[in-house]
Structure 1
């Protein structure tokens, strides 16, 4: 069987501590409404995987830190941002208790 040529996307990996309680609620809303509302993501026990290039209208409800991280990810060619419990914090972006 030949090896398939898979599409590859870039991913940014940052601390979940950059998500405010309101940001987490916005991400959880997407899961709770099965994609009808909120910001496009997947959730797991250790954080969120957010699609950085979609739902820009929902991103206007995000904290300035989340909006800046998503914009930086898009500018650096990343399709996704992993907000990981063990991810590294980004200098200059506010953190919250996680």
Structure 2
């Protein structure tokens, strides 16, 4: 069987500390509503994988820090941002304590 030529996506890996309580609620809402509302994402026990174009759909609801991270991801040709509790904190981007 030939090896398929798979599409490859880049992703950014940052700390969940950059997600405000409101951002976290939007991510959880997407999961709770089975994709009907909130920000497009997958969730796991240690964070979220967010589609980098989610901000375009819900721009008025996200924090400035999340909007900046998603814009930077798109500018750097990343399809997704992995918000990981062990991810790196970015200089100059607001963090939240949980």
TM-score normalised to the size of structure 2? 0.96
Partner of 2:49, secondary structure, is strand
* Kept in 2: contact 1:39–1:50 (CA 8 A): yes
- Aligned residue in 2 for 1:91: 91
Q: Is the CA contact (8 Å cut-off) linking 2:55 and 2:62 kept in structure 1? A: no
Q: Give the equivalent residue in structure 1 for 2:61.
A: 61
* Superposed CA offset, 1:24-60 (max 9, x none): 0010000000000000000000000000024612132
SS in 1 for 2:80: strand
Question: How many aligned positions are there?
Answer: 98
RMSD: 1.0
Counterpart Cα distance in 1 of 2:27 and 2:86: 18
2:2 maps to what in 1?
Answer: 2
Listed as ranges, the gaps of 5+ residues in structure 2 are none
Question: Do 1:60 and 1:67's aligned partners in 2 also have CA atoms closer than 8 Å?
Answer: no
Structure 1 unmatched ranges of 5 or more: none
2:40 paired residue number? 40
Cα separation, partners in 2 of 1:25 and 1:84, compared to 1, 3 Å: same
- The equivalent of 1:18 in structure 2 is 18
The question of whether the paired residues in 1 share the 8 Å contact of 2:55 and 2:67 is answered with no
Contact 1:40 1:55 in 2 (8 A): no
